[in-house]
């Protein structure tokens, strides 16, 4: 069953369907108040009348388009009963445009993202839920599960999520278990792991693996008696763990003797410690030699939550001692992103942060840069360095790079994202200030930053420059004259840079998106006029994340691959002027 059919949000929000001898037809929705209508719809859906139930909710949403409750339940019903996950996602996105703090909508979006194995997106949606309501049931547990199972570089973060989950629900046995595994196998905090494994056993005495994990852990810590006793208890709970190899590895004769007989023989025998150490090493070697066939026999544990998301029940390691040290971080490279405080720049910073890259972020708005730095350090345990300047100022750009600390000078990937549009007017009515701002930002700013960074790439014979261009650099449109000219310049510069730098082993690429929402593009273009900036309401453009994902894809190809140009638009946009503005929700 998909996660969208069993989510905690649905458990909270779905009203109990009342038995009805006669269900109203969908056409009668106009006569019903929202709550009774939702109850009637679920009565139809639960009785197998899926089409009628969905039609009833769909018609209600058409008649009450700004009613968040109706739209949420319609999205939930589309996912659970209609298996229309795309339609459900679109309804939720529309809902969030009107009600951006709807925590249940974000939770359901997260479950749908999990269903499609888009774990970074699921993590982001669950985090939004937590930001809105830190007491939302199971939200930190879900965050922990995703980071634990699907994001290899997020083990510390997973542990933090499980700790937060346990503060809110200290009787969540599975959260204790996952945290214990992280503390033991990844963070090297063995005695804390012991504490949480013991808590698991107290809450769930029949847990199939907690005793076994404790046996392995106690063996590592040198307490062979405790290891042997927990192994015996593990076998009692889960007989499949009893194998000849395990019997030999854990067997400890002294543990079977009465304590009053054992202690006199142990007193004053410190000289035997080296023999004990050799015995321990020999036993651990035996444990490490357990056959794969034996390891595969034990079933994977299921999370304690009654509504787990899909693909989270991965099998814990069995039969060998876990790693003894925290996994060493790998430096994946330094990424410089200009204009990182909003839109495509911020979304790009997010995706590189999630994947473990060090970030050098620039922007004009210092408070936003500071907020990003704090968030990435907290959420991803990630080094982030900030450069606060305006790319239009060549002296500020030069000074910023000349004064960089040594460890932040070798930029591996430069993403020239800073850019804007100002005004929309025919050439004979254009505003000179608007023209100069666009030329200085979109062309000169890109050149200033590239000039500061490219020499180091050439010197090291390593680097990648990615320019954020536009469909406006491929064609022109009425009243877009100077903006189109600046983006044509970016297109030309990208090709020219490629010719200049290929012989130095430098890759040069660009992505040219069409209309993109989740940015400040329209608001800036129309000088803060929010009404004129509403240009996306009747069609679905790209999102900033869509573009960021393409940038990340370009940047992470093998070193011998240079993707020079990606032209991308939303499905409803065929060119700068040909756009299907028939609406968003029907899609």
**Exactly one of 483, 502, 536, 552 is catalytic; which is it?**
483
C-beta of residue 350 within 8 angstroms of C-beta of residue 551: no
C-beta of residue 512 within 8 angstroms of C-beta of residue 495: no
Pairwise CA distance, residues 212 & 140, whole Å: 26
- CA distances to 78, 161, 211, 381 from 185, rounded to whole Å, are 41, 17, 16, 18
CB-count exposure of residue 556 (10 Å: 0-12, 13-18, 19+): middle
Pairwise CA distance, residues 356 & 383, whole Å: 9
Pairwise CA distance, residues 70 & 54, whole Å: 11
Quote the distance between the C-alpha of residue 431 and its chain's center.
Answer: 42
- CA distances to 7, 80, 155 from 39, rounded to whole Å, are 18, 15, 42
Q: Where are the alpha helices (DSSP H) in 322-365?
A: 343-354
Q: What is the DSSP letter of 311?
A: T
Instruction: Give the three-class secondary structure for 506.
Output: strand
Residue 483 annotated among the catalytic residues of the structure: yes
Q: Which residues pair with 567 in a beta bridge?
A: 512
Number of residues that make up the chain: 587
The DSSP code sequence of 515-576 is SEESSSHHHHHTTT-TTTT--STTS--EEHHHHHHHHHHHHTS-TT----EEEE--TTBSSS
Q: Is the dihedral of CA 514, 333, 493, 507 positive or negative?
A: negative
Expressed in angstroms, the distance from the first to the final Cα of the chain is: 25
Question: Which letter, b or e, does each residue of 489-507 get, where b requires 16 or more Cβ atoms within 10 Å of its Cβ?
Answer: bbbebbeebbeebeeeebb
Instruction: Give the three-class secondary structure for 385.
Output: strand
- Only one residue has tokens 């000074």, namely 399
CB-count exposure of residue 206 (10 Å: 0-12, 13-18, 19+): exposed
Sheet of 506-513: strand order equals: 384-388, 358-363, 334-337, 413-416, 463-468, 506-513, 565-568
The catalytic residues are 483
């Amino acid at each position: 069953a998909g996660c969208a059919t069993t989510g905690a949000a649905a458990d909270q929000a779905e009203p109990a369907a009342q038995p009805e001898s006669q269900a109203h037809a969908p056409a009668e929705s106009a006569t019903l108040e929202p709550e009774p209508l939702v109850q009637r719809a679920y009565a139809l859906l639960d009785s197998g009348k899926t089409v009628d139930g969905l039609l009833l909710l769909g018609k209600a949403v058409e008649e009450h388009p700004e009613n968040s409750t109706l739209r949420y339940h319609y999205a939930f019903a589309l996912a659970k009963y209609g298996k229309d996950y795309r339609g459900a996602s679109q309804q939720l996105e529309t809902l969030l445009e009107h009600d951006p703090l709807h925590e249940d909508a974000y939770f359901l979006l997260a479950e749908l993202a999990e269903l499609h194995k888009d774990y970074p997106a699921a993590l982001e949606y669950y985090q939004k839920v937590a930001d809105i309501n830190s007491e939302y049931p199971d939200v930190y547990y879900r965050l922990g599960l995703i980071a634990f199972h699907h994001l290899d570089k997020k083990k510390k973060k997973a542990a933090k999520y499980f700790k937060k989950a346990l503060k809110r629900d200290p009787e969540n046995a599975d959260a204790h278990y996952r945290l214990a595994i992280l503390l033991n196998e990844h963070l090297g905090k063995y005695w804390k792991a012991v504490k949480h494994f013991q808590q698991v056993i107290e809450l769930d005495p029949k847990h199939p693996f907690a005793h076994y994990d404790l046996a392995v852990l106690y063996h590592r810590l040198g307490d062979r008696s405790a290891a042997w006793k927990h192994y015996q208890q593990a076998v009692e709970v889960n007989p499949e763990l009893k194998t000849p190899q395990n019997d030999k590895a854990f067997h400890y004769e002294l543990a079977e003797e009465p304590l009053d007989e054992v202690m006199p023989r142990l007193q004053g025998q410190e000289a035997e410690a080296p023999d004990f150490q050799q015995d321990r090493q020999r036993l651990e070697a035996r444990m490490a030699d357990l056959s794969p066939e034996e390891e595969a026999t034990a079933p994977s544990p299921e999370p304690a939550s009654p509504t787990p998301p899909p693909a989270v029940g991965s099998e814990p390691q069995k039969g060998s001692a876990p790693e003894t040290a925290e996994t060493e971080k790998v430096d994946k490279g330094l990424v410089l992103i200009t204009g990182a405080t909003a839109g495509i720049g911020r979304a790009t910073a997010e995706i590189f942060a999630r994947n473990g890259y060090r970030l050098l972020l620039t922007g004009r708005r210092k408070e936003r840069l500071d907020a990003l730095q704090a968030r990435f350090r907290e959420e991803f345990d990630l080094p982030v360095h900030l450069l606060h300047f305006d790319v239009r100022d060549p002296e500020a750009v030069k000074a910023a790079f000349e004064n960089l600390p040594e460890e932040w000078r070798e930029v591996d990937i430069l993403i020239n994202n800073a850019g804007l549009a100002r005004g929309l007017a025919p050439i004979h009515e254009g505003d000179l200030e608007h023209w100069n701002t666009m030329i200085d930002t979109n062309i000169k700013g890109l050149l200033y930053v590239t000039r500061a960074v490219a020499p180091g790439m050439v010197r090291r014979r390593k680097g990648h420059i990615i320019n954020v261009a536009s469909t406006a650099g491929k064609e022109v449109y009425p009243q877009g004259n100077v903006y189109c000219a600046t983006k044509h310049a970016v297109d030309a510069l990208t090709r020219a840079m490629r010719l200049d730098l290929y012989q130095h082993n430098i890759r040069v690429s660009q992505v040219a998106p069409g209309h993109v929402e989740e940015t400040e593009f329209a608001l800036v273009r129309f000088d803060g006029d929010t009404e004129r900036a509403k240009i996306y309401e009747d069609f679905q453009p790209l999102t900033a994340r869509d573009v960021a994902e393409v940038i990340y894809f370009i940047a992470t190809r093998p070193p011998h691959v240079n993707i020079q140009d990606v032209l991308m638009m939303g499905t409803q946009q065929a060119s700068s002027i040909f756009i299907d503005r028939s609406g968003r929700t029907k899609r």
